[in-house]
Chain A
Amino acid sequence: MEQELRDLYQELILDHVRHPRNFHEMADATRTVEGHNPLCGDHLRLFVKLEAGRIADVSFVGEGCAISTASASLLTEALKGKTVEEAETLLSKMVELLTASEAPTDPMALGKLGVLAGVRDYPSRVKCAMLPWRTLEAALSDDAPAAISTE
Protein backbone atom coordinates (compact mmCIF):
# COMPACT_ATOMS: atom_id res chain seq x y z
CA MET A 1 0.00 0.00 0.00
CA GLU A 2 2.64 2.46 1.16
CA GLN A 3 4.85 1.43 -1.76
CA GLU A 4 2.10 1.87 -4.36
CA LEU A 5 1.38 5.34 -3.03
CA ARG A 6 5.07 6.13 -2.96
CA ASP A 7 5.24 5.26 -6.67
CA LEU A 8 2.79 8.09 -7.24
CA TYR A 9 4.04 10.52 -4.63
CA GLN A 10 7.77 10.10 -5.23
CA GLU A 11 10.28 12.27 -3.38
CA LEU A 12 10.98 14.28 -6.51
CA ILE A 13 7.28 15.10 -6.86
CA LEU A 14 6.99 16.02 -3.18
CA ASP A 15 10.05 18.25 -3.49
CA HIS A 16 8.39 20.17 -6.33
CA VAL A 17 5.16 20.44 -4.29
CA ARG A 18 6.97 21.85 -1.27
CA HIS A 19 9.23 24.07 -3.36
CA PRO A 20 7.59 24.77 -6.70
CA ARG A 21 10.12 26.09 -9.24
CA ASN A 22 9.44 29.27 -11.24
CA PHE A 23 6.38 29.93 -9.11
CA HIS A 24 5.74 33.62 -9.77
CA GLU A 25 3.94 35.95 -12.11
CA MET A 26 5.80 37.39 -15.08
CA ALA A 27 5.17 41.01 -16.00
CA ASP A 28 6.77 40.79 -19.46
CA ALA A 29 5.33 37.45 -20.55
CA THR A 30 4.34 37.34 -24.21
CA ARG A 31 1.70 34.66 -23.61
CA THR A 32 -0.44 34.14 -20.49
CA VAL A 33 -3.00 31.35 -20.38
CA GLU A 34 -5.30 30.26 -17.55
CA GLY A 35 -5.71 26.52 -17.14
CA HIS A 36 -8.67 25.33 -15.13
CA ASN A 37 -9.93 21.93 -14.13
CA PRO A 38 -13.56 22.64 -13.22
CA LEU A 39 -14.14 19.19 -11.73
CA CYS A 40 -11.59 19.55 -8.95
CA GLY A 41 -11.10 23.30 -8.88
CA ASP A 42 -7.41 23.20 -9.83
CA HIS A 43 -6.34 26.29 -11.68
CA LEU A 44 -3.04 27.71 -12.81
CA ARG A 45 -1.79 30.65 -14.81
CA LEU A 46 1.11 29.87 -17.13
CA PHE A 47 3.40 32.72 -18.26
CA VAL A 48 5.59 32.22 -21.33
CA LYS A 49 8.10 34.71 -22.70
CA LEU A 50 8.81 33.88 -26.34
CA GLU A 51 11.85 35.45 -27.98
CA ALA A 52 12.79 34.57 -31.58
CA GLY A 53 11.08 31.17 -31.46
CA ARG A 54 12.62 30.26 -28.12
CA ILE A 55 11.07 30.03 -24.64
CA ALA A 56 13.24 32.61 -22.92
CA ASP A 57 11.33 32.27 -19.65
CA VAL A 58 8.35 30.36 -18.27
CA SER A 59 6.62 30.52 -14.89
CA PHE A 60 3.31 29.71 -13.23
CA VAL A 61 1.07 30.57 -10.31
CA GLY A 62 -2.04 28.83 -9.10
CA GLU A 63 -3.56 26.37 -6.76
CA GLY A 64 -3.85 22.67 -7.20
CA CYS A 65 -3.19 19.20 -5.93
CA ALA A 66 0.29 17.74 -5.53
CA ILE A 67 0.19 16.11 -8.94
CA SER A 68 -0.78 19.20 -10.92
CA THR A 69 1.58 21.45 -8.94
CA ALA A 70 4.54 19.12 -9.43
CA SER A 71 3.67 18.67 -13.10
CA ALA A 72 3.59 22.45 -13.62
CA SER A 73 6.83 22.97 -11.71
CA LEU A 74 8.63 20.22 -13.65
CA LEU A 75 7.27 21.68 -16.88
CA THR A 76 8.78 25.09 -16.25
CA GLU A 77 12.13 23.53 -15.39
CA ALA A 78 12.14 21.39 -18.53
CA LEU A 79 11.12 24.12 -20.95
CA LYS A 80 13.25 27.10 -20.09
CA GLY A 81 15.51 27.83 -23.05
CA LYS A 82 13.86 25.32 -25.39
CA THR A 83 12.74 26.26 -28.90
CA VAL A 84 9.01 26.17 -29.59
CA GLU A 85 9.63 23.13 -31.77
CA GLU A 86 11.46 21.31 -28.98
CA ALA A 87 8.69 22.23 -26.54
CA GLU A 88 6.05 20.84 -28.88
CA THR A 89 7.99 17.59 -29.20
CA LEU A 90 8.25 17.33 -25.41
CA LEU A 91 4.55 18.10 -25.08
CA SER A 92 3.59 15.25 -27.40
CA LYS A 93 5.91 12.89 -25.52
CA MET A 94 4.27 13.89 -22.22
CA VAL A 95 0.79 13.36 -23.64
CA GLU A 96 1.92 9.91 -24.73
CA LEU A 97 3.54 9.17 -21.37
CA LEU A 98 0.41 10.10 -19.44
CA THR A 99 -2.41 8.97 -21.71
CA ALA A 100 -1.26 6.33 -24.24
CA SER A 101 -2.91 2.95 -23.74
CA GLU A 102 0.49 1.23 -23.93
CA ALA A 103 2.66 1.69 -20.86
CA PRO A 104 5.85 3.59 -21.69
CA THR A 105 8.86 1.32 -22.19
CA ASP A 106 11.32 3.78 -20.72
CA PRO A 107 9.68 6.63 -18.81
CA MET A 108 13.03 7.90 -17.60
CA ALA A 109 13.96 8.72 -21.21
CA LEU A 110 12.12 11.97 -20.43
CA GLY A 111 14.41 12.66 -17.53
CA LYS A 112 12.82 14.00 -14.37
CA LEU A 113 9.45 14.25 -16.11
CA GLY A 114 9.33 10.46 -16.06
CA VAL A 115 8.33 10.55 -12.37
CA LEU A 116 4.87 11.61 -13.49
CA ALA A 117 4.36 8.20 -15.16
CA GLY A 118 3.09 6.85 -11.82
CA VAL A 119 -0.16 8.71 -12.38
CA ARG A 120 -1.09 6.19 -15.09
CA ASP A 121 -2.26 3.81 -12.34
CA TYR A 122 -4.73 6.47 -11.12
CA PRO A 123 -7.02 7.22 -14.09
CA SER A 124 -8.97 9.91 -12.24
CA ARG A 125 -5.72 11.78 -11.59
CA VAL A 126 -4.32 11.82 -15.14
CA LYS A 127 -6.12 15.10 -15.82
CA CYS A 128 -4.30 16.67 -12.85
CA ALA A 129 -0.92 15.88 -14.41
CA MET A 130 -2.17 16.94 -17.85
CA LEU A 131 -3.50 20.37 -16.87
CA PRO A 132 -0.19 22.29 -17.12
CA TRP A 133 0.65 20.57 -20.41
CA ARG A 134 -2.73 21.35 -21.95
CA THR A 135 -2.25 24.92 -20.80
CA LEU A 136 1.19 24.98 -22.45
CA GLU A 137 -0.33 23.61 -25.66
CA ALA A 138 -2.75 26.53 -25.68
CA ALA A 139 0.02 29.03 -24.90
CA LEU A 140 2.13 27.81 -27.81
CA SER A 141 -0.68 27.83 -30.37
CA ASP A 142 -0.68 30.81 -32.72
CA ASP A 143 -4.08 32.00 -31.61
CA ALA A 144 -3.43 31.41 -27.91
CA PRO A 145 -6.73 31.56 -25.97
CA ALA A 146 -6.91 33.40 -22.66
CA ALA A 147 -8.15 30.35 -20.82
CA ILE A 148 -8.67 26.64 -21.25
CA SER A 149 -10.30 24.01 -19.15
CA THR A 150 -9.82 20.27 -19.00
CA GLU A 151 -12.28 17.60 -17.94
Chain B
Amino acid sequence: MNAPQCVTTWDVEAVRADFPILAQTVHGKPLAYLDNAATTQKPNAVIDAIAHFYRHDNANIHRGVHALAERATIAYEAAREAARRFLNARSANEIVFVRGTTEAINLVAASFGARFQPGDEVIVTAMEHHANIVPWQLVQARTGIVLKVIPMDESGALQTEQLAALITPRTRLVAVTHVSNALGTINPVAELIAIAHQHGVPVLVDGAQAVPHMPVDVQALDADFYCFSGHKLFGPTGIGVLYCKAELLESMPPYQGGGDMIRTVSFEKSTFAPPPQRFEAGTPHIAGAIGLKAAIEYLERLDRLAALRYEQELLAYATERLQTVPGLKIVGTAPEKAAVVSFTIDGIHPHDLGTIVDRYGVAIRVGHHCAMPVMTFFGVPATARASFAFYNTFAEIDQLTDALHRARDLLV
Protein backbone atom coordinates (compact mmCIF):
# COMPACT_ATOMS: atom_id res chain seq x y z
CA MET B 1 0.00 0.00 0.00
CA ASN B 2 1.22 3.49 -0.79
CA ALA B 3 0.99 6.45 1.54
CA PRO B 4 -2.10 8.57 0.90
CA GLN B 5 -1.39 11.43 -1.51
CA CYS B 6 -2.68 14.96 -1.07
CA VAL B 7 -5.36 13.95 1.40
CA THR B 8 -4.76 16.98 3.53
CA THR B 9 -3.62 20.55 3.23
CA TRP B 10 -1.24 19.97 6.12
CA ASP B 11 2.27 21.07 5.13
CA VAL B 12 4.25 18.65 7.25
CA GLU B 13 7.62 19.61 5.79
CA ALA B 14 7.09 23.25 6.76
CA VAL B 15 6.16 22.18 10.28
CA ARG B 16 9.17 19.85 10.53
CA ALA B 17 11.45 22.76 9.67
CA ASP B 18 10.33 24.39 12.94
CA PHE B 19 11.70 21.43 14.96
CA PRO B 20 15.51 21.35 14.55
CA ILE B 21 15.98 18.06 16.44
CA LEU B 22 14.06 16.09 13.81
CA ALA B 23 16.68 16.64 11.09
CA GLN B 24 19.23 14.13 12.33
CA THR B 25 20.34 10.58 11.75
CA VAL B 26 20.45 7.90 14.44
CA HIS B 27 22.69 4.86 13.86
CA GLY B 28 23.09 6.17 10.30
CA LYS B 29 19.33 6.26 9.59
CA PRO B 30 17.00 9.26 9.50
CA LEU B 31 15.45 9.73 12.94
CA ALA B 32 11.78 8.71 13.11
CA TYR B 33 10.68 10.10 16.46
CA LEU B 34 7.53 8.18 17.37
CA ASP B 35 7.64 8.59 21.15
CA ASN B 36 5.56 11.73 21.44
CA ALA B 37 3.34 10.43 24.22
CA ALA B 38 6.48 10.27 26.39
CA THR B 39 7.61 13.76 25.44
CA THR B 40 7.32 15.96 22.39
CA GLN B 41 10.08 17.82 20.58
CA LYS B 42 10.42 21.59 20.83
CA PRO B 43 10.04 24.13 18.03
CA ASN B 44 12.63 26.90 17.56
CA ALA B 45 10.10 29.35 18.98
CA VAL B 46 10.25 27.58 22.37
CA ILE B 47 14.03 27.09 22.38
CA ASP B 48 14.54 30.74 21.42
CA ALA B 49 12.08 32.08 24.01
CA ILE B 50 13.90 30.27 26.83
CA ALA B 51 17.32 31.40 25.60
CA HIS B 52 16.05 34.96 25.19
CA PHE B 53 14.74 35.02 28.75
CA TYR B 54 18.05 33.86 30.21
CA ARG B 55 20.05 36.19 27.94
CA HIS B 56 18.02 39.34 28.54
CA ASP B 57 15.30 39.23 31.22
CA ASN B 58 16.29 36.74 33.92
CA ALA B 59 15.30 37.83 37.45
CA ASN B 60 13.09 36.56 40.23
CA ILE B 61 9.42 37.46 40.03
CA HIS B 62 6.80 39.17 42.19
CA ARG B 63 9.27 40.90 44.52
CA GLY B 64 11.90 42.95 42.75
CA VAL B 65 11.40 46.58 41.79
CA HIS B 66 14.18 46.69 39.24
CA ALA B 67 13.72 46.54 35.49
CA LEU B 68 14.64 42.89 35.01
CA ALA B 69 12.36 41.76 37.85
CA GLU B 70 9.50 43.65 36.30
CA ARG B 71 10.16 42.18 32.87
CA ALA B 72 10.40 38.66 34.32
CA THR B 73 7.17 39.13 36.30
CA ILE B 74 5.31 40.45 33.26
CA ALA B 75 6.57 37.55 31.13
CA TYR B 76 5.62 34.97 33.77
CA GLU B 77 2.12 36.39 34.22
CA ALA B 78 1.74 36.64 30.44
CA ALA B 79 2.40 32.90 30.36
CA ARG B 80 -0.45 32.41 32.82
CA GLU B 81 -2.71 34.42 30.52
CA ALA B 82 -1.59 32.28 27.56
CA ALA B 83 -2.51 29.13 29.49
CA ARG B 84 -5.90 30.68 30.35
CA ARG B 85 -6.55 31.42 26.69
CA PHE B 86 -5.34 27.96 25.66
CA LEU B 87 -7.88 26.23 27.94
CA ASN B 88 -10.50 28.99 27.63
CA ALA B 89 -10.61 29.45 31.41
CA ARG B 90 -12.64 32.40 32.71
CA SER B 91 -9.77 33.94 34.63
CA ALA B 92 -5.97 33.69 34.74
CA ASN B 93 -6.41 33.29 38.51
CA GLU B 94 -7.74 29.81 37.77
CA ILE B 95 -4.35 28.79 36.35
CA VAL B 96 -1.78 27.36 38.79
CA PHE B 97 1.69 26.59 37.48
CA VAL B 98 3.06 23.25 38.62
CA ARG B 99 5.91 20.96 37.56
CA GLY B 100 3.64 18.85 35.40
CA THR B 101 0.50 16.75 35.38
CA THR B 102 1.80 14.53 38.16
CA GLU B 103 2.31 17.47 40.50
CA ALA B 104 -1.07 18.92 39.52
CA ILE B 105 -2.84 15.74 40.62
CA ASN B 106 -0.75 15.50 43.77
CA LEU B 107 -1.68 19.10 44.54
CA VAL B 108 -5.37 18.32 44.22
CA ALA B 109 -4.98 15.12 46.26
CA ALA B 110 -3.09 16.91 49.03
CA SER B 111 -5.18 20.09 49.12
CA PHE B 112 -8.69 19.25 47.92
CA GLY B 113 -8.19 15.75 49.41
CA ALA B 114 -7.21 17.17 52.81
CA ARG B 115 -10.86 17.29 53.80
CA PHE B 116 -11.74 13.77 52.73
CA GLN B 117 -13.10 11.56 55.52
CA PRO B 118 -12.72 7.80 56.00
CA GLY B 119 -15.15 6.09 53.64
CA ASP B 120 -15.22 8.96 51.15
CA GLU B 121 -14.80 7.81 47.57
CA VAL B 122 -12.72 8.81 44.57
CA ILE B 123 -13.61 7.27 41.21
CA VAL B 124 -10.97 6.78 38.50
CA THR B 125 -10.96 4.80 35.23
CA ALA B 126 -9.36 1.44 34.44
CA MET B 127 -6.94 3.14 32.05
CA GLU B 128 -5.30 5.70 34.32
CA HIS B 129 -1.62 6.54 34.25
CA HIS B 130 0.01 5.83 37.62
CA ALA B 131 -0.04 9.60 38.20
CA ASN B 132 -3.81 9.43 38.61
CA ILE B 133 -3.79 6.31 40.80
CA VAL B 134 -0.94 6.61 43.28
CA PRO B 135 -1.77 10.12 44.64
CA TRP B 136 -5.23 8.80 45.58
CA GLN B 137 -3.70 5.71 47.18
CA LEU B 138 -1.56 8.03 49.30
CA VAL B 139 -4.76 9.79 50.42
CA GLN B 140 -6.25 6.35 50.98
CA ALA B 141 -3.34 5.38 53.26
CA ARG B 142 -3.68 8.64 55.21
CA THR B 143 -7.45 8.94 55.41
CA GLY B 144 -9.03 5.61 54.53
CA ILE B 145 -10.85 6.75 51.39
CA VAL B 146 -12.20 4.20 48.92
CA LEU B 147 -10.86 4.10 45.36
CA LYS B 148 -13.37 2.91 42.75
CA VAL B 149 -12.73 2.14 39.10
CA ILE B 150 -14.88 2.69 35.98
CA PRO B 151 -14.23 -0.43 33.87
CA MET B 152 -13.28 -0.56 30.19
CA ASP B 153 -14.18 -3.11 27.54
CA GLU B 154 -11.88 -5.38 25.51
CA SER B 155 -11.27 -2.64 22.95
CA GLY B 156 -10.04 -0.27 25.63
CA ALA B 157 -13.17 1.90 25.46
CA LEU B 158 -14.48 3.17 28.79
CA GLN B 159 -17.80 1.78 30.01
CA THR B 160 -19.12 5.24 30.62
CA GLU B 161 -22.60 4.00 31.49
CA GLN B 162 -21.12 2.37 34.62
CA LEU B 163 -20.24 5.70 36.22
CA ALA B 164 -23.69 6.61 37.50
CA ALA B 165 -23.96 3.31 39.39
CA LEU B 166 -20.55 3.82 41.04
CA ILE B 167 -21.45 7.24 42.44
CA THR B 168 -22.80 7.27 46.00
CA PRO B 169 -23.41 10.08 48.51
CA ARG B 170 -19.81 9.45 49.70
CA THR B 171 -18.26 10.17 46.27
CA ARG B 172 -16.07 13.26 46.55
CA LEU B 173 -14.34 13.30 43.18
CA VAL B 174 -14.28 11.66 39.76
CA ALA B 175 -10.71 11.75 38.36
CA VAL B 176 -10.39 10.60 34.75
CA THR B 177 -7.86 10.68 31.97
CA HIS B 178 -8.97 12.53 28.84
CA VAL B 179 -6.81 10.35 26.56
CA SER B 180 -5.14 7.08 27.62
CA ASN B 181 -1.36 7.24 27.26
CA ALA B 182 -1.07 3.46 26.87
CA LEU B 183 -4.02 2.83 24.53
CA GLY B 184 -4.82 6.14 22.87
CA THR B 185 -8.50 5.89 23.85
CA ILE B 186 -10.26 9.27 23.90
CA ASN B 187 -12.71 9.29 26.79
CA PRO B 188 -16.05 11.12 26.56
CA VAL B 189 -15.12 13.54 29.32
CA ALA B 190 -17.99 15.97 28.65
CA GLU B 191 -20.42 13.12 29.19
CA LEU B 192 -18.58 11.86 32.30
CA ILE B 193 -18.58 15.37 33.73
CA ALA B 194 -22.31 15.78 33.02
CA ILE B 195 -23.07 12.50 34.82
CA ALA B 196 -20.90 13.39 37.82
CA HIS B 197 -22.39 16.87 38.05
CA GLN B 198 -25.92 15.44 38.08
CA HIS B 199 -24.84 13.88 41.38
CA GLY B 200 -23.05 17.03 42.54
CA VAL B 201 -19.60 15.44 42.23
CA PRO B 202 -16.68 17.51 40.85
CA VAL B 203 -14.41 16.09 38.13
CA LEU B 204 -10.66 16.22 37.59
CA VAL B 205 -9.46 15.60 34.04
CA ASP B 206 -5.88 14.47 33.33
CA GLY B 207 -5.34 16.19 29.99
CA ALA B 208 -1.65 15.35 29.53
CA GLN B 209 -2.29 13.22 26.43
CA ALA B 210 -5.21 15.26 25.12
CA VAL B 211 -3.93 18.82 24.75
CA PRO B 212 -1.14 17.90 22.28
CA HIS B 213 -3.76 16.47 19.92
CA MET B 214 -6.95 18.50 20.24
CA PRO B 215 -8.28 21.89 21.32
CA VAL B 216 -9.71 21.82 24.86
CA ASP B 217 -12.27 24.24 26.31
CA VAL B 218 -12.63 23.80 30.06
CA GLN B 219 -15.78 25.94 30.18
CA ALA B 220 -17.48 23.94 27.44
CA LEU B 221 -16.49 20.72 29.24
CA ASP B 222 -17.45 22.26 32.59
CA ALA B 223 -14.36 20.56 34.10
CA ASP B 224 -13.65 21.41 37.73
CA PHE B 225 -9.95 20.54 37.47
CA TYR B 226 -7.98 20.11 34.25
CA CYS B 227 -4.24 19.53 34.12
CA PHE B 228 -1.48 19.02 31.59
CA SER B 229 2.32 19.01 31.21
CA GLY B 230 4.27 21.53 29.15
CA HIS B 231 6.76 18.98 27.82
CA LYS B 232 4.06 16.90 26.13
CA LEU B 233 2.78 20.10 24.49
CA PHE B 234 6.01 20.98 22.61
CA GLY B 235 7.14 23.07 25.62
CA PRO B 236 9.81 22.55 28.29
CA THR B 237 9.95 19.90 31.01
CA GLY B 238 9.34 20.95 34.60
CA ILE B 239 6.33 23.16 33.90
CA GLY B 240 2.68 22.26 33.79
CA VAL B 241 -0.74 23.69 34.43
CA LEU B 242 -3.50 22.98 36.88
CA TYR B 243 -6.75 24.67 35.93
CA CYS B 244 -9.30 24.83 38.73
CA LYS B 245 -12.61 26.66 38.92
CA ALA B 246 -12.17 29.84 40.96
CA GLU B 247 -14.71 29.07 43.68
CA LEU B 248 -13.19 25.64 44.24
CA LEU B 249 -9.63 26.94 44.25
CA GLU B 250 -10.58 29.69 46.74
CA SER B 251 -11.84 27.05 49.16
CA MET B 252 -8.70 24.89 49.05
CA PRO B 253 -5.91 24.99 51.67
CA PRO B 254 -2.28 25.55 50.59
CA TYR B 255 -0.32 22.70 49.06
CA GLN B 256 3.24 23.69 49.98
CA GLY B 257 4.33 26.47 52.33
CA GLY B 258 7.01 29.04 51.63
CA GLY B 259 7.72 32.31 49.92
CA ASP B 260 5.35 33.86 47.37
CA MET B 261 2.28 32.03 48.73
CA ILE B 262 1.74 34.11 51.88
CA ARG B 263 0.15 37.42 52.73
CA THR B 264 1.70 37.86 56.19
CA VAL B 265 4.00 35.70 58.29
CA SER B 266 4.75 35.80 61.99
CA PHE B 267 5.98 33.04 64.28
CA GLU B 268 2.49 32.73 65.68
CA LYS B 269 0.53 32.57 62.45
CA SER B 270 0.70 33.13 58.72
CA THR B 271 -2.03 34.17 56.34
CA PHE B 272 -2.08 33.00 52.80
CA ALA B 273 -2.24 34.74 49.47
CA PRO B 274 -5.30 34.23 47.28
CA PRO B 275 -5.08 31.76 44.38
CA PRO B 276 -3.15 31.14 42.26
CA GLN B 277 -0.20 32.41 44.38
CA ARG B 278 -1.44 30.37 47.36
CA PHE B 279 -0.45 27.24 45.42
CA GLU B 280 2.89 28.45 44.05
CA ALA B 281 5.30 28.39 47.00
CA GLY B 282 8.91 29.25 46.24
CA THR B 283 10.49 30.47 43.05
CA PRO B 284 8.66 28.75 40.19
CA HIS B 285 10.09 27.55 36.89
CA ILE B 286 9.94 31.02 35.34
CA ALA B 287 11.79 30.15 32.12
CA GLY B 288 9.63 27.04 31.83
CA ALA B 289 6.44 29.09 31.96
CA ILE B 290 7.86 31.42 29.32
CA GLY B 291 8.78 28.43 27.15
CA LEU B 292 5.27 27.05 27.61
CA LYS B 293 3.81 30.37 26.50
CA ALA B 294 5.94 30.18 23.34
CA ALA B 295 4.65 26.64 22.73
CA ILE B 296 1.04 27.75 23.15
CA GLU B 297 1.57 30.68 20.80
CA TYR B 298 3.22 28.34 18.30
CA LEU B 299 0.15 26.09 18.40
CA GLU B 300 -2.13 29.10 18.04
CA ARG B 301 -0.41 29.93 14.75
CA LEU B 302 -1.17 26.45 13.42
CA ASP B 303 -4.51 25.24 12.10
CA ARG B 304 -5.16 22.83 14.96
CA LEU B 305 -8.15 21.17 13.37
CA ALA B 306 -6.07 20.47 10.26
CA ALA B 307 -3.34 19.09 12.55
CA LEU B 308 -5.87 16.83 14.23
CA ARG B 309 -7.19 15.58 10.89
CA TYR B 310 -3.64 14.90 9.72
CA GLU B 311 -2.85 12.97 12.91
CA GLN B 312 -5.97 10.89 12.42
CA GLU B 313 -4.73 10.04 8.91
CA LEU B 314 -1.38 9.01 10.42
CA LEU B 315 -3.24 6.84 12.94
CA ALA B 316 -5.32 5.13 10.24
CA TYR B 317 -2.24 4.55 8.07
CA ALA B 318 -0.18 3.20 10.99
CA THR B 319 -3.02 0.91 12.08
CA GLU B 320 -3.25 -0.54 8.58
CA ARG B 321 0.50 -0.82 7.90
CA LEU B 322 1.41 -2.36 11.26
CA GLN B 323 -1.11 -5.13 10.75
CA THR B 324 0.96 -6.35 7.78
CA VAL B 325 3.52 -7.56 10.34
CA PRO B 326 2.77 -11.23 11.11
CA GLY B 327 1.85 -11.85 14.74
CA LEU B 328 1.31 -8.17 15.48
CA LYS B 329 -1.63 -7.37 17.74
CA ILE B 330 -2.81 -3.86 18.42
CA VAL B 331 -3.64 -3.28 22.09
CA GLY B 332 -6.35 -0.64 22.31
CA THR B 333 -8.82 -0.47 19.46
CA ALA B 334 -11.45 1.87 20.86
CA PRO B 335 -13.53 3.70 18.20
CA GLU B 336 -12.27 7.10 19.39
CA LYS B 337 -8.49 7.23 19.56
CA ALA B 338 -5.70 9.78 19.54
CA ALA B 339 -2.70 9.03 17.32
CA VAL B 340 -1.22 6.33 19.55
CA VAL B 341 -0.73 2.66 18.61
CA SER B 342 0.25 0.16 21.30
CA PHE B 343 1.10 -3.32 20.06
CA THR B 344 2.74 -6.65 20.73
CA ILE B 345 4.32 -9.12 18.32
CA ASP B 346 4.05 -12.84 19.04
CA GLY B 347 7.37 -14.30 20.13
CA ILE B 348 9.19 -10.99 20.55
CA HIS B 349 9.39 -9.14 23.85
CA PRO B 350 8.69 -5.40 23.45
CA HIS B 351 12.07 -4.57 24.92
CA ASP B 352 13.85 -6.41 22.14
CA LEU B 353 11.62 -4.65 19.60
CA GLY B 354 12.60 -1.27 21.04
CA THR B 355 16.30 -2.06 20.78
CA ILE B 356 16.02 -3.38 17.24
CA VAL B 357 13.89 -0.60 15.73
CA ASP B 358 16.18 1.97 17.37
CA ARG B 359 18.99 0.59 15.22
CA TYR B 360 16.80 1.49 12.22
CA GLY B 361 16.43 5.05 13.49
CA VAL B 362 12.97 4.58 14.99
CA ALA B 363 12.27 5.83 18.52
CA ILE B 364 9.33 4.11 20.19
CA ARG B 365 8.48 3.45 23.81
CA VAL B 366 8.45 -0.07 25.20
CA GLY B 367 7.32 -1.14 28.64
CA HIS B 368 4.26 -0.72 30.81
CA HIS B 369 3.86 3.00 30.05
CA CYS B 370 3.27 3.79 33.75
CA ALA B 371 -0.09 2.06 33.37
CA MET B 372 0.48 -1.37 34.90
CA PRO B 373 -3.25 -1.99 35.54
CA VAL B 374 -3.85 -1.55 31.79
CA MET B 375 -1.15 -4.13 31.01
CA THR B 376 -2.69 -6.52 33.55
CA PHE B 377 -6.14 -6.03 31.99
CA PHE B 378 -4.87 -6.99 28.55
CA GLY B 379 -2.74 -9.82 29.97
CA VAL B 380 0.58 -8.52 28.66
CA PRO B 381 3.70 -7.59 30.67
CA ALA B 382 4.46 -4.70 28.34
CA THR B 383 3.72 -3.31 24.90
CA ALA B 384 5.55 -1.37 22.24
CA ARG B 385 3.97 2.01 21.55
CA ALA B 386 4.27 4.34 18.59
CA SER B 387 2.80 7.76 19.37
CA PHE B 388 2.52 10.48 16.79
CA ALA B 389 2.60 14.25 16.57
CA PHE B 390 1.61 16.50 13.69
CA TYR B 391 5.25 16.60 12.55
CA ASN B 392 5.41 12.87 11.86
CA THR B 393 5.17 11.52 8.32
CA PHE B 394 3.72 8.55 6.46
CA ALA B 395 7.31 7.66 5.49
CA GLU B 396 8.22 7.32 9.18
CA ILE B 397 5.39 4.82 9.59
CA ASP B 398 6.84 2.85 6.66
CA GLN B 399 10.25 3.02 8.37
CA LEU B 400 8.73 1.62 11.58
CA THR B 401 6.89 -1.12 9.69
CA ASP B 402 10.04 -2.16 7.83
CA ALA B 403 12.02 -2.22 11.09
CA LEU B 404 9.39 -4.47 12.68
CA HIS B 405 9.65 -6.89 9.74
CA ARG B 406 13.43 -6.93 10.25
CA ALA B 407 12.92 -7.64 13.96
CA ARG B 408 10.86 -10.69 13.05
CA ASP B 409 13.52 -11.83 10.57
CA LEU B 410 16.09 -11.60 13.34
CA LEU B 411 14.21 -13.10 16.28
CA VAL B 412 11.34 -15.28 15.10
Identify the A interface with B (CB < 8 A).
1-2, 4-6, 8-9, 14, 17, 39-43, 63-67, 69, 122, 124-125, 128
Interface SS of chain A: helix
Q: B96 interface residue, CB < 8 Å from A?
A: no
Question: Which one of A1, A43, A125 contacts B28 once the chains associate, using CB atoms below 8 Å?
Answer: A1
**Bound CA span A42–B410, Å:** 21
**Bound CA span A43–B381, Å:** 9
Q: B352 interface residue, CB < 8 Å from A?
A: yes
- Cβ contact within 8 Å between B382 and A66: no
Q: B3 interface residue, CB < 8 Å from A?
A: no
Map CB proximity to A onto B357-370 as digits: 1 under 8 Å, 0 otherwise.
Answer: 00110000011100
Complex interface: chain B residues within 8 A of A17 (CB): 411
**Bound CA span A43–B382, Å:** 12
**Bound CA span A75–B358, Å:** 28
- Cβ contact within 8 Å between A66 and B349: yes
Return the chain B residue nearest A66 by Cβ.
Answer: B352
Return the chain A residue nearest B406 by Cβ.
Answer: A2
- Cβ contact within 8 Å between B355 and A41: no
Using A41-B381, A66-B349 as known contacts, say yes or no to A9 and B410 having CB atoms under 8 A apart.
yes
Rank and list the top 4 A-B pairs by shortest CB-CB distance, nearest first.
A65-B349, A65-B351, A41-B381, A41-B382
- Cβ contact within 8 Å between A6 and B27: no
Return the chain B residue nearest A62 by Cβ.
Answer: B381
Complex interface: chain B residues within 8 A of A122 (CB): 355
Complex interface: chain A residues within 8 A of B127 (CB): none
Give residues 321-351 of B contacting A (CB, 8 Å): 348-351
Question: Which one of B28, B29, B356, B367 contacts A40 once the chains associate, using CB atoms below 8 Å?
Answer: B367
Using A1-B359, A40-B366 as known contacts, say yes or no to A9 and B411 having CB atoms under 8 A apart.
yes
Return the chain A residue nearest B354 by Cβ.
Answer: A124
- Cβ contact within 8 Å between A5 and B382: no
Complex interface: chain A residues within 8 A of B351 (CB): 40, 42, 65, 67, 125, 128
Map CB proximity to A onto B366-390 as digits: 1 under 8 Å, 0 otherwise.
Answer: 1110001001000001100000000
Question: Which one of A6, A64, A69 contacts B410 once the chains associate, using CB atoms below 8 Å?
Answer: A6
Complex interface: chain B residues within 8 A of A5 (CB): 355-356, 359, 410
Complex interface: chain B residues within 8 A of A65 (CB): 349-352
CB of A131 to closest CB in B, whole Å: 11
**Bound CA span A14–B352, Å:** 12
- Cβ contact within 8 Å between A14 and B359: no
- Cβ contact within 8 Å between A41 and B352: no
CB of A120 to closest CB in B, whole Å: 13
Return the chain A residue nearest B356 by Cβ.
Answer: A5
**Bound CA span A65–B407, Å:** 13
Using A1-B360, A67-B352, A122-B355 as known contacts, say yes or no to A39 and B411 having CB atoms under 8 A apart.
no
**Bound CA span A4–B28, Å:** 12
- Cβ contact within 8 Å between B359 and A41: no
**Bound CA span A5–B372, Å:** 29
Q: List 11 A-B contacts (CB under 8 A).
A: A4-B359, A5-B356, A6-B410, A14-B411, A40-B368, A42-B381, A63-B381, A66-B348, A122-B355, A124-B355, A125-B351
Return the chain B residue nearest A41 by Cβ.
Answer: B381
CB of A88 to closest CB in B, whole Å: 28
**Bound CA span A69–B366, Å:** 17
**Bound CA span A40–B380, Å:** 12
Complex interface: chain B residues within 8 A of A4 (CB): 27, 359
**Bound CA span A8–B358, Å:** 13
Find the residue from B350, B351, B406 having the highest chain A CB count within 10 A: B351
CB of B206 to closest CB in A, whole Å: 22
CB of B209 to closest CB in A, whole Å: 21
CB of A57 to closest CB in B, whole Å: 27
**Bound CA span A77–B410, Å:** 24
CB of A70 to closest CB in B, whole Å: 11
**Bound CA span A67–B356, Å:** 12
Complex interface: chain B residues within 8 A of A1 (CB): 27-29, 359-360
Map CB proximity to A onto B46-89 as digits: 1 under 8 Å, 0 otherwise.
Answer: 00000000000000000000000000000000000000000000
Map CB proximity to A onto B26-42 as digits: 1 under 8 Å, 0 otherwise.
Answer: 01110000000000000
CB of B229 to closest CB in A, whole Å: 20
- Cβ contact within 8 Å between B355 and A8: yes
Complex interface: chain A residues within 8 A of B356 (CB): 5, 9
- Cβ contact within 8 Å between B410 and A41: no
- Cβ contact within 8 Å between B366 and A125: no
**Bound CA span A40–B365, Å:** 11
